[in-house]
Chains A and B, each alone.
Chain A
């Protein structure tokens, strides 16, 4: 029999329904995998006891015929989602002892469906980063290695704990969040499917805020069907989030189809950037052929403001972050540092200096600067206007097509430590993922092939607002055609 940890989420569910194994057996196998994978440093907090309790409840519910759609399925939770009674840190020293007295809407929905949470997964501090190296709990190591090399690689970020744990077969799927690419880029780096739905599709309530006009929850999974199953569970209107969209959620998994007849797929010429890797260009061309073979018509489109999207993002994101992170002042929760004989003001400044890491400070500084008197119009308001133009490009593009195909990242995963000294080089990694975030559009990364060194590369599909189904269907067509079966060779046990 296949090891339980190798099964897809759909196969786990089928096996549980048939009685091939119990949820306790399934979850126990994954707890063992979690313990063996500690060299990856994917988890900030492990919760094996809670996972086993959920498994036992799932086994009872199955016997009683009341099991939810994810009953007994082992999942990992990005440590940005508040979990009642379980420490939630955002990978920051400032929240290292924070135990939420409430549950995020996304995790509450998963719990209601019966999922078993193995623990809280690492991320870049406050989700700010693209390599999971800014976590106050140390970097996460990718389970992948290049051919013939034992150099440690980044798992992508900010959802790097999520991508490492799913790719290493420690959990069936994981929650993640995406502000400028934090689901799609780690998916591409670790050979996974990563889906960021439309802004407002999933409630942000109880998700620690980074940039509120961009933040969106989503999923990392090993195939498109699994991703669709989790996505439909976590989506839906929530009165507690004022930007949550009050529209019905389609049954994504049941409606999945790789038949793209009647669809038009746009190839945006501005994404063909100077110095782009030739392996990536061939993969992109191949992706277009696969979608054509699945019945889609391929059309060239133009998104002229693409080259300014990244700079726009690095004004809007830090501005919102500097406002959101103003709440960490050492008064109501979190770390407090009180200098001797210091004033309240001294306490704020010392607390924040001790609690935030370098990248978070950098973004707070940029955000505070672009919002400050005299610079607000030139930077923040200007960026908001360019954001309108980026979103308008997509609206016009979707007049000619139903989906947009691009690479997910400019390169495959890079070695740990290779970019930490150059924040700007790190930012440039988000070049293909940021535009869809600025426009609030659903987008996903699907594994499509390997680069010459044997590392995964992903392709990105972007859809119209609320058309997650088309994005998932396009991903399924690529998944079928690429026949991507590569997985990391286990070196950590």
Chain B
């Protein structure tokens, strides 16, 4: 289970780390299981604690032309783009 979730989360586990996590996560998930005792029949799930309806705004450009700022923290860049390892073989 830990290896599958780590893959979904894009987290490389170091040797030995998985074993440690199994115990910790089992303890936490076991404790979380108490929620199954709560009767929630007919109860709506809460996604937003204070529902707000937003006003539409004018469909105009409010920001932009900041290529240098956007790229300033990039670990690697090339010709004004973010650069990443080759994706297509």
A residues neighboring B (CB under 8 Å): 97-99, 101, 198-200, 213-214, 239, 242-243, 245-246, 305, 308, 311-312, 314-315, 322, 326, 329-336, 338, 342-350, 352-353, 356, 361-362, 364-366, 368-370, 372, 378-379, 381-389, 391, 423-424, 427, 438-440, 465
Q: Who on chain A is nearest to B48 by CB? A: A213
B79 within 8 Å of A by Cβ? Answer: no
Q: CB-CB < 8 A to B32: which residues of A?
A: 311, 314-315, 370, 379
Evaluate contact between B82 and A385: CB separation under 8 angstroms.
Answer: no
Known contacts A213-B47, A364-B9; 11 additional CB pairs below 8 A are: A98-B73, A101-B73, A305-B38, A333-B75, A344-B86, A350-B12, A365-B21, A366-B25, A366-B28, A388-B40, A391-B49
CB distance from A373 to the nearest CB of B (A): 9
Closest residue on chain B to residue A318 by CB atoms: B28
| Complex Cα–Cα for A308 and B40 (A) | 12
A residues less than 8 Å from B38 (CB atoms): 305, 308, 382, 385-386, 389
> What count of chain B residues pass the 8 Å CB interface test?
48
**Separation of A372 and B3 alpha carbons in the complex (Å):** 13
CB atoms of A335 and B75 under 8 A apart? yes
Partner of A364, one of B11, B40, B44, B87: B11
- Which B38-65 residues have a C-beta within 8 angstroms of A? 38, 40, 43-50, 52, 54, 57
Contact A311 B45 (CB under 8 A): no
Shortest Cβ distance from residue B45 to the other chain A in the assembled complex, whole angstroms: 3
The answer to whether B6 and A365 touch across the interface, beta carbons within 8 angstroms, is: yes
User: By the criterion CB–CB under 8 Å, are A345 and B10 in contact?
Assistant: yes
Of the residues A308, A372, A424, contact of B8 by C-beta under 8 Å: A372
Q: B11 touching A356 by the CB < 8 A rule?
A: yes
Are A383 and B10 in contact, with the CB atoms below 8 A?
A: no
Among B25, B32, B34, B69, max chain A CB count under 10 A is at: B32
The smallest C-beta distance from B47 to any residue of chain A, in angstroms, reads 7
Could you tell me the distance in whole angstroms from the C-beta of A276 to the nearest C-beta in chain B?
20
Decide: B35 and A382 in contact? CB cutoff 8 A: yes
Find chain B residues with CB under 8 A from A322 CB.
Answer: 9
Complex CA distance for A333 and B69, rounded to whole angstroms: 11
Q: Kindly list chain A residues whose C-beta atoms are within 8 Å of the C-beta of B8.
A: 368, 372
B14-47 contacts to A, CB under 8 A, are 14, 21, 24-25, 27-29, 31-32, 34-36, 38, 40, 43-47
Main secondary structure of the interface of A (DSSP, over half): helix
Instruction: Output the nearest chain B residue to A328 by Cβ-Cβ distance.
Output: B10
> How many angstroms between the C-alpha atoms of A423 and B24 in the bound complex?
8
Cα distance A97–B74 when bound, in Å? 11
Interfacial chain B residues near A344, Cβ < 8 Å:
84-87
Contact call B49/A368, Cβ cutoff below 8 A: no
Contact B9 A389 (CB under 8 A): no
**9 A-B contacts (beta carbon < 8 Å):** A99-B72, A334-B73, A352-B11, A352-B12, A356-B11, A366-B25, A366-B29, A384-B47, A388-B46
The reply to whether A353 and B14 contact each other, CB–CB distance below 8 Å, is yes
Decide yes or no: A349 and B10 within 8 Å by CB, A365-B2, A369-B29, A379-B32 being known contacts.
Answer: yes
Contact B21 A362 (CB under 8 A): yes
Which residues from A are CB-within-8-Å of B87? 343-344
Cβ distance A59 to chain B, nearest Cβ, rounded Å: 32
Determine the distance from Cα of A383 to Cα of B40 in the docked complex, in whole angstroms: 10
Instruction: Check A369/B75 contact, CB under 8 A, given A198-B50, A200-B52, A213-B47.
Output: no
Residue among A369, A372, A384 with max Cβ neighbours from chain B (10 Å): A369
Q: Top 6 nearest A-B pairs by Cβ distance?
A: A440-B49, A384-B45, A333-B73, A336-B75, A385-B40, A349-B12
Are B25 and A438 in contact, CB atoms less than 8 angstroms apart? no
Task: Looking at the assembled complex, report how far the CB atom of A361 sits from the nearest CB atom of chain B, in whole angstroms.
Answer: 6
Pair A368/B52 contact, Cβ less than 8 Å:
no
Let me know if A423 and B28 touch, CB within 8 A: yes
User: What's the Cα separation between A357 and B9 when bound, in Å?
Assistant: 14
**If A311-B31, A362-B24, A389-B38 touch, does A338 touch B43 (CB 8 Å cutoff)?**
no
Q: Give the docked Cα–Cα distance between A438 and B49 (Å).
A: 8
CA distance A385 to B57 in the complex (A): 32
Q: How far is the CA of A101 from the CA of B57 in the complex (A)?
A: 25
Q: Would you call B11 and A361 a contact (CB within 8 A)?
A: yes
- Looking at the assembled complex, report how far the CB atom of A178 sits from the nearest CB atom of chain B, in whole angstroms: 13
CB proximity of B37 to chain A, nearest CB, Å: 8
| Chain B residue at minimum C-beta to C-beta distance from A423 | B24
Q: How far is the CA of A354 from the CA of B70 in the complex (A)?
A: 24
Nearest CB in chain B: distance from A100 CB, A: 8
Contact A362 B25 (CB under 8 A): yes
